[in-house]
Amino acid sequence: MAPEMSDASQFSVSSMAAQQNILRERLHRLLATLHPLLQYDVLQALKGAGKLLSQPDTEINSLAPILPAGIWPLLTLLIAQHLSPDIHPEYASSVAVAVECFVCALDLLDDVEDDDQTPIVRAIGIPRVLNVSTALLSLTHRAILSVAEQAVDPAIIIRLLNALHECTLTATSGQHRDLLAESRSARNFSHEECIEIASAKAGSIMRLACRLGAICGGADDTLCDRFSELGELLGIAHQLDNDCHDLYYLLQDEKDAVIPVEASGTTRTSIKSDLKRGKKTLPVVLAEEIMAALQKAAESSDGESKRYRKALQEGIIATWGICLLYRERARERLQEIEVQKPVSPELLFLLGI
Amino acid sequence: MEELQIQEFVHRVSTDEVLRKELATSPDTVIMREGFSPRVARVIMRLVPHLAMEKSLEPSLYFWSN
C-alpha cells in the first residue's frame, strides 16, 4: 500500500517542510533572473499539482496519501543528505531544483505532445507552454552549473551534466517510441516493448533524480549505480501502476460505455480516452494478447464487447502484478543500499517502499 | 522471465475456475506447487484476493503521478 502520513509518523513533518522551504527559496532565486513576463508563466507551471510550488491539497481523498509538494527534488536532496549529512545546503538544493525544473519541462512537453488539456495548457496556450519548457531546460543547466560557486570539483559537475544528458536522450527516445506506437496495432506490440518504453520514460527520470542525489552526495560508482537502479525500478513500477489504475477507473466509470470504434479497418470495441488515442499501455497490450487467444480458442459465447472488457480486466491485474514485481526488485536494491547505512524515515517515505 | 510467469498465471486463474477456487481456499498450496521464486510468490500472494474473489483493485500504490 502507499505510505500514509500516519504510517510514517516516525519522521518529523516539520523536517520535511523545512527541506521544502530550502528548495523553494533556492528555486525562487533561480527564477529571479528571468524576465517578469516569462517568470510569471514559469511560476504557473511550477505551481502545478505536485510541483514544488504547488499549494497543499486540502481536499480529503481516502485513496491518495497526503504528499509533500516537490517530491522529485526532495528525493534528490534527501539522497544527497543521506550520503553526506553535512553537505552544503546550497550545493544540494541547487542540484535538487535542477531536477524540479527538468521534470517540469518534460511534463510540459508531454502535455503538448499528447494533446492533453492540462490546466497550464488551458491557461497559457501551447506556444507559451513550449517556451516555458525551453526556459526550464535552460534553468536546469544553470542550476547545475551554479554549484561551481560552491567550489565543487569540475569533474563532479561534468558527471552531473552527463547524467542529465543521458536521461534527456533516453527519455526523449522513450517518448518518441511511445508517440510512434500510437499508430501501430496493439496486436503487433509486445509487452517487452511496453516495459522498455516505461523504463525509458518514467524509469529514466526517476533514475536521474536518484543518481544526481547520489553523485551530489559523493557516492562512488557502485553506490551511484545502486541508487540509479533503485530509481529506475521505481519509475517503471510507478508507470505501470498509473497505467493499470487509469484504465481500471475508466472501466469502473464507464460500465456501459464500451463503444465500437473503427481501428485498423475492423470493428473493435474500445474504451474512450487513452484507448481511443492509441496509447499502448501494458494492460491494453496484454488485453490484446488475451483477445487473440480467446478468438483462437473460440470458446466464448460472450459478445466481443464483453470479452474485451474481461480481457482488459485481466490485463489490468497482470499489469498490477508486474508493477508489484518491480517494486519487489526496488526493495531488494534498497536493502543492498541499506547494508551500509539505513536510509532516513523521510527518504523511505518518499521512496514509498 | 518473472513478468511472463505472472502474466501466464493470471491468465490461467482467469480462465480456470477450479484453479481459481483452489487459490481462494489454499493459496499457499497453489503457490508452492507452481514453484515460484520467493519474489514472484510475494507478488502472487498480493494478487490472490483480486484473482480469486474478484476484489476491486487496491488504491494506487504510488504517488509519483504528478
Model pLDDT for residues A225-253, shown as the tens digit of each residue:
999 999 999 999 999 988 888 888 777 76
Strand partners, A262: A267
R_g of chain B, CA atoms, integer Å: 13
| Cα dihedral A108→A110→A112→A113 (10° resolution) | 160
The partner residue sitting opposite B7, judged by closest CB among A63, A65, A318, is: A318
Chain B residues within 8 A of A67 when measuring between CB atoms: 63
Model pLDDT for residues A195-231, shown as the tens digit of each residue:
999 999 999 999 999 999 999 999 999 999 999 999 9
Question: Cα–Cα distances in Å, from A320 out to A250, B43, B56?
Answer: 15, 9, 12
Give me the phi and psi of A114, to 5 degrees please.
-90, 5
What is d(CA A119, CA A315) in angstroms, rounded to the nearest whole number? 31
Does the pLDDT of residue A343 top 90, yes or no?
yes
Residue B2 forms contact with A (CB below 8 Å): yes
Among the listed residues A107, A26, A28, A110, the one whose alpha carbon sits nearest the alpha carbon of residue A74: A26
ipTM, two decimals: 0.90
What is d(CA A200, CA A114) in angstroms, rounded to the nearest whole number? 17
DSSP-derived 3-state class of residue B11: helix
Give the pTM. Answer: 0.87
Q: Which amino acid is at A14?
A: S
pLDDT of residue B65: 44
pLDDT of residue B57: 66
CB contact under 8 A, A320 and B47: yes
**Close Cβ partners of A43 (under 8 Å, ≥ 6 residues apart):** A31, A53
Residue A323 forms contact with B (CB below 8 Å): yes
Chain A residues within 8 A of B17 when measuring between CB atoms: none
Other Cβ atoms less than 10 A from the Cβ of A138: the count is 13
CB contact under 8 A, A329 and B39: yes
Model pLDDT for residues A290-313, shown as the tens digit of each residue:
877 666 555 555 577 777 888 888
pLDDT of residue B55: 66
